[in-house]
Structure 1
Amino acid sequence: MNKIFGFIGIGNMGFSMLQGANKAFSKEQLIYTDISEKRVQWVEEQTGIKGTNSNLECIQDTKIIILAIKPQYYEEVLNGIKGHITKDQIVISIAPGININKVKKTLGNDIRVIRAMPNTPALIGEGMTAMAYSNDHYTEEEKELVNAFFTSFGECVALEEKLMDSVVPIIGSSPAYVFMFIEALADGAVKLGLSRDEAYKMASQTVFGSAKMVLETKEHPAVLKDQVCSPGGTTIEAVAALEKNGFRNAILEAVQKCYDKCERLGS
């Protein structure tokens, strides 16, 4: 096949993945499509990769098709490409709530489908993706190709499909929670007299460094938290205030609400 990856939809998530793939594969191996001609033109200017406004042109002679569209557009898009996808190709679905069987029901049971949940930090090569293979045969070469794609913009973990709804609030949606935390932390700094630019830099770097500590030290987050909380000190006062105002419970509730919405999308 002439192309390796074809993106149907090139919004924020599609563009983020395309940027990663552009570093690991040649421009000639990539193609994308979008309903907006203006968007296709902009992406082409940014990346040097040719796009199209035709989904059928995008999937023609392309090995792996990434459905980078919102859940509400799946039925229309799948019906539009039905009969044009072969069992030699692989379809990757990244929409929350859209399971493998739902895609196969439209495209055909012999079509191989991978369900994945990436996130927007893929744009800077720091994404996290969870993925699940359909119960079909994939060659080792194909699996290596899929892994090379997902790791071109971050880390990747393979799971059973029954767990994929659970990772939506942890991977797909959680950058929004983190951005809100950084914004709130910076607002607090501005209240204390720091400039907005100083506040965002300090808050963002601190969040980044803290996350890196968890990953690299492999210590339990509670242990790392305790190391910052001196007896009778300033940090434990702040932690107590967070607990009093339901910080942890707010996060737990957000994760549950996100999961519930994902379940409703899949019903």
Structure 2
Amino acid sequence: MKKVAFIGAGNMNRCILIGMVKAGFDAALITVTNPSPEKRVALANDYGVNQSADNIEAAKQADIIILGVKPHLIKTVCQQLADAMDISDKCFVSVAAGVSMAQMRSVLGEQAGLVRCMPNTPSQLGVGMAGLFADDSVSDESKAFIDAMFVAVGKTLWLANEAEIDNLITVSGSGPAYFFAFMEAMQKQAMAFGFDQQTAREMVQQTALGAAQMVIENPESIATLRENVTSKGGTTQAALNTFFDGGLTDLVAKAMINCKKRAEEMTESNN
């Protein structure tokens, strides 16, 4: 098994690490670093992994290095590691939005393996969706290992080119927030109808869970599932007509396009 160093103990690195341990990866071969001790020490105590304040020492011992720091710090961290060691046998995995492979290559050079990954927050529950792109620098063995890491916290999708990362961000990366916003609006109106906050939440969350499970377990198109719930002239049609008359489809498209534009702007600003 390969040795893994998690640079940063933020939410995304934390959930990937926990998922790996729960899936049977050897905790003794995993190290997490973080400037402040609280998060890294808690992970070490709870899951048996190694912890350190020293990014360089952790990376020296690792085969796979997961870069989970804030986007504006990625190039700085890469420069520190490249200056301190031979990285030609290392594979770096960035989970930061807005930092292109070219930007990281400008620091790391051409020899190190490099993968961009965009996971999402449901990875914390093992039901995430991660999009990954690797260039020719990454061996099939390393790709298989990295895939297994992210399968431990959900599903994976290997992309044909790096540009697809920004497209994926608009769907699975930012998508959970879209559903939360819709659920929040439903809860608010349920409360306006007289339900208390907790009851309104339970109704909304169970309905959302059931709808998602129906999509998972049925081969029909999502449009067909919608139509199956919608009786002609009935209550559901009255609600859906309101959504569609209000431009729901166009609004969702516009929101996703703006999400992609912002991802592109972030990449440009990190040049």
Write out aligned runs for 1:62-101 (5 A). 62-83=62-83, 84-101=85-102
Once the two structures are TM-superposed, the CA of residue 4 in structure 1 deviates from its matched residue by 1.9
**Matches of 2:224 and 2:109, distance apart in 1:** 50
Q: State the one-letter code of the partner of 2:244.
A: E
Distance 1:8 1:172, change over 3 A: same
Q: RMSD value over aligned CA atoms?
A: 1.8
Kept in 2, the 8 Å contact 1:85–1:107? The answer is no
Q: Report deviation, 1:196.
A: 1.8
Q: Does 1:50 align with 2:50?
A: yes
TM-score of the aligned structures, taking structure 2 as reference length: 0.91
Deviations 1:96-132 (A, max 9, x none): 1222222111011111101111001011100000111
CA distance in 2, matches of 1:137, 1:66: 14
Percent identity over the alignment is: 31
Runs of at least 5 residues in structure 1 that lack an aligned partner in the other structure: none
The 10-residue stretch of structure 1 (5-14 or 31-40) with the greater mean CA deviation from structure 2: 31-40
Q: Is the 8 A contact 1:190 1:199 kept in 2?
A: yes
In the alignment, what sits opposite 1:18?
Answer: 17
TM-score normalised to the size of structure 1?
A: 0.92
AA aligned to 1:228 is: V
Structure 2 residue 201 is matched with structure 1 residue 200: yes
Give the Cα–Cα distance (whole angstroms) in 1 for the partners of residues 131 and 138 of structure 2: 19
2:101–2:116 contact (8 Å) kept in structure 1: yes
Secondary structure of 2:111's partner?
Answer: coil
Shift of 1:50: 2.8
Counterpart amino acid of residue 202 in structure 2: K
- 1:65-102: CA deviation from partner (whole Å, max 9, x where unpaired): 11112211112211221132522221101111222222
Q: What is the CA–CA distance in structure 1 between the aligned matches of 2:3 and 2:234, rounded to whole Å? A: 56
The farther-off stretch of 83-92 and 115-124 is 83-92
Amino acid corresponding to residue 33 of structure 2 in structure 1: T
Change (3 A) 1:137 1:60: closer
Partner of 1:5: 4
Contact map agreement 2:9 2:33 (CA 8 A) in 1: yes
| Counterpart amino acid of residue 34 in structure 2 | D
Q: Which residue of 2 aligns with 1:215?
A: 216
Q: Which amino acid aligns with 1:39?
A: K
Letter in 1 for 2:193: L
Paired residues of 1:85 and 1:111 also in contact (CA < 8 A): no
Which secondary structure state, in structure 2, belongs to the residue aligned with residue 95 of structure 1?
coil
Secondary structure of 1:66's aligned partner: strand
Aligned length: 265
Aligned partner of 1:41: which letter?
Answer: V
Q: In 2, Cα distance between the equivalents of 1:193 and 1:112?
A: 57
Q: Which amino acid aligns with 1:16?
A: C
Structure 2 equivalent of residue 148 of structure 1: 148
- The 5-angstrom pairing of residues 83-232 of structure 1 reads 83=83, 84-139=85-140, 141-160=141-160, 161-232=162-233
Structure 2 distance, partners of 1:106, 1:8, is 17
Distance 1:187 1:85, change over 3 A: farther
Check the 8 A contact 2:91/2:138 in 1, yes or no: no
Shift in alpha-carbon separation, 1:245–1:77, aligned structure 2, 3 A? same
Q: Are the aligned partners of 1:186 and 1:203 in contact in 2 as well (CA < 8 Å)? A: yes
In structure 2, runs of 5+ residues without a counterpart are none
How many angstroms does 1:134 deviate by? Answer: 1.1
Secondary structure in 2 aligned to 1:78?
Answer: helix
| AA of the residue aligned to 1:186 | Q
Amino acid aligned to 1:192: F
Equivalent residues in 2 for 1:18-37 (5 A)?
A: 18-24=17-23, 25-37=25-37
Give, in whole Å, the separation in 2 of the partners of 1:111 and 1:198.
53
* Residue deviations 1:165-188 (CA, integer Å, cap 9, x gap): 111111211111111122221222
